[in-house]
Amino acid sequence: MTVFKSLHKYSKLADIQPAVSPHGLRHFFCSNALEKGLNVHEVASIDHITLYQS
């Protein structure tokens, strides 16, 4: 089962609307990092590192 399908399946089981996606999780993480004080360049570098490592 892919990450997308797993997130979609379990977000539906947990009655989370709209369903969770990998893109949505990445967006949530980056938005919170910006709110916590990281600058845009730091968030972009973390996002790219995380994508290449997964």
- The pLDDT of residue 35 is 92
What are 1-54's pLDDT values in tens digits? Answer: 888 888 889 989 999 888 888 888 888 888 888 899 988 888 877 655 544 444
pTM higher than 0.75: no
**How far, in Å, CA of 14 to CA of 1, rounded?**
18
**How far, in Å, CA of 26 to CA of 3, rounded?**
13
- The pLDDT of residue 43 is 80
DSSP string, 1-54: --HHHHHHHHHHHTT-SSPP-HHHHHHHHHHHHHHTT--HHHHHHHHHHHHHH-
- The pLDDT of residue 4 is 85
- The pLDDT of residue 19 is 81
